[in-house]
Each structure stands twice: as C-alpha cells, then as structure tokens.
Amino acid sequence: MAFRGSLFKFLVVITLYDAFLTVNSQAETTDPTKMTAAILVRVDQSGKGDYTKIQDAIDAVPSNNTELVFVLIKPGIYKEKVTVPADKPFITVSGTKVAETIITWNDSENIFECATFTVLASDFVARYLTIQNTYGNGAQAVALRVSGDRAAFIGCRIISYQDTLLDDTGRHYYSNCYIEGATDFICGNAASVFEKCHLHSVSEGAGAITAQRRESPAEDTGFTFLGCTITGVKTAVLGRPWGPYSRVVFAFSYISSAILPQGWDDWGDSSKQSTVYYGQYKCYGRGAITSKRVGWARSLTSQEASPFLTKDFIGAKDWIRPAPTSFRTASKPISHHSDGNN
C-alpha cells in the first residue's frame, strides 16, 4: 500500500506539470503584456467543470508557474476563503457576471488573516467577481487583501464594512470596480491606481474612505483615484493617515455631498498634518468644494497633479496584460477527491 500511495503521488506531480509546465525558461524573462494564450480551468459547483472549488483550481497550478492560467468561475455563491500563494504567478480568476459570481466568507481575525480573498502572487488578475466579507460592524473584516506585485482587478465588487480592501503592498490597478465599506475601507501601503471606480460609504457617522499607510517620503506608494464616483448613505471623509506620510490624490472624480466639507481627518495626531500628501484636482460635485477643506489638504495645480494622472504612477505599461485571445484546456485535470490509496 505504501508503494501504491507513493506511485500515485508521483503520477499526480507528473500530470500537473504536463498540464501547466511551459516550454519557456525562467519566469523572470516572461513579459506579461505579450502573453495572449492561456490554459483554461473551469470551476463549476454542479460538478461539470474541472473543479467545484476555486481554491482547488489554484492549488493545481504548479509552483513557479510561467504560463497564463485562466480560472473561469461559473456563476454561483462560493463560500470559501481563497489564497493565491506567492509562488503561483500569472493566474487570472474570472467570472462572467459580477453580481452572480460571489466569493463570500465571514471572518474578523487579524487584519492580515481574515480576508475572504488573499493575493500573495505577482501578475494576478481578477475579473467580474464579487468578493465580500459579511462579518459587519465591530471589527476588522477584510474582503480582499492584495500583497503581491502587479495585480489588476477589472469590473469587480469588493464589499465589507471595516478595512474592506487591504491594498497592502505592491503595484495594483483597479478598473470599473465597486468598493463598499464604512471605516478605512481602502487601506494599506500599495502604489495603486483606481480608475472609474465607485466608492460607496455605508458609515452611519463620519467614516473614512481611505487609510493609506506610507511610512516615509522615500516610499513611492500611495492611492490615486481617476474619474471615480464617491457616494455615501450619510457622511464620511476622503481619508485619514494610517502612516505619517500617507498619500492620496483624487482627480477628475465626482464627489457627492456625503463627503464632509473638511474632506480629511488627521486621526487625532496633528503632527501628521505636515507630512501627509492629500490632494484634489479638477473634481466636481457638492462634496468636491475645496473652500472649507482642512488647511493641510492640497488643491493641486496641473503641474503638481501631472505625476498622478496616468497609470505611469504604477509603471502599468510593463505589466498590465490584455485578456487572453486563445485558450487550451489542461490535458489531464487532477481530481482532488482521490484519497491517494486507490
């Protein structure tokens, strides 16, 4: 029995690499912007796909992967915590209907442990997914944690209450996403561009949309919001500083009256007023009026705003990749229901 179990494990490893191993050499020589073909893996709760769970599909990708892997999720409610490990780059996880493809969990542990969906890998893409943490008010409850470099989220819904999106480290791009929360619901120390996103505060009081954590002026991090829409059920501020050199810029964005006239909060530490970088450029709406902003907020000139007005802020030309144009299926998908003794 021991021999048969070892043989099964050996065959599993061989089959995984037959499905996923690239003919190219090292991962570091791969240019994501020129990768157009992908291995297609289907996740379907009814059992008609390759896997019934999202995590199983990700687990099947070999370490140090260098090929595009496109994990297609059939609509449904997936009650699972999902992690994309650091050694599994070049994965896309995609739904087809954002409102019908829901990844959900209910957790409120440590901010770095409670996320419904955690991305540790580089060169990750998510498309048309709803990612939510249903814990509610009262504790940190992250829906999405992004701690890998070069990650993009297209047309996703990210929903929780406190610390909804832990935009932790790396360079990230969010396009046409809906992000909802009440307290510091976009937080972390990544360098990120949010383009045409809808930020919605559900705070019953003076909640904060952002809590950016830049620790020193040497760090090239910060959040830039381009052409976004900001709404809320009551009142909120645009941000407060998690780190002393917190940096956030809103440009060309609609800001509703849900945003308080002062715009920003120093989190009870007036010393941060001289070190934070909170800017606004050509925004509009009743909440965009700058005449009553705190004295340490910036109304940016075109020259001051220029570095933040394109995706060059995150070096996007070098890594944001288009959707694949061709697919092939894994030749021998592995069943994760085997016990290893048959």
Q: Is 47 left (phi over 0), alpha (psi -120 to 50) or beta?
A: left
Q: How far apart are the first and last CA of the chain?
A: 9
CB distance 157 to 129 below 8 Å: yes
Cα distance between residue 254 and residue 229, in whole Å:
5
CB distance 122 to 149 below 8 Å: yes
Which residues are the active-site residues? 163, 184
* 225 sits in which H/E element: strand 222-226
Closest CA to 54 of 75, 77, 80: 80
Closest CA to 61 of 52, 73, 70, 72: 70
Cα distance between residue 328 and residue 20, in whole Å:
11
CB distance 336 to 44 below 8 Å: no
As to burial, measured by CB atoms within 10 angstroms (0-12 exposed, 13-18 middle, 19+ buried), residue 105 is buried
Cα distance between residue 280 and residue 297, in whole Å:
8
* Helices within 38-103 (DSSP H only): 54-59
Sequence-distant contacts of 133-136: CB under 8 A, at least 24 apart: 133/104, 133/105, 133/106, 133/107, 133/159, 133/160, 133/161, 133/164, 134/104, 134/105, 134/106, 134/160, 135/106, 135/107, 135/108, 135/160, 135/161, 136/161
Cα distance between residue 66 and residue 57, in whole Å:
16
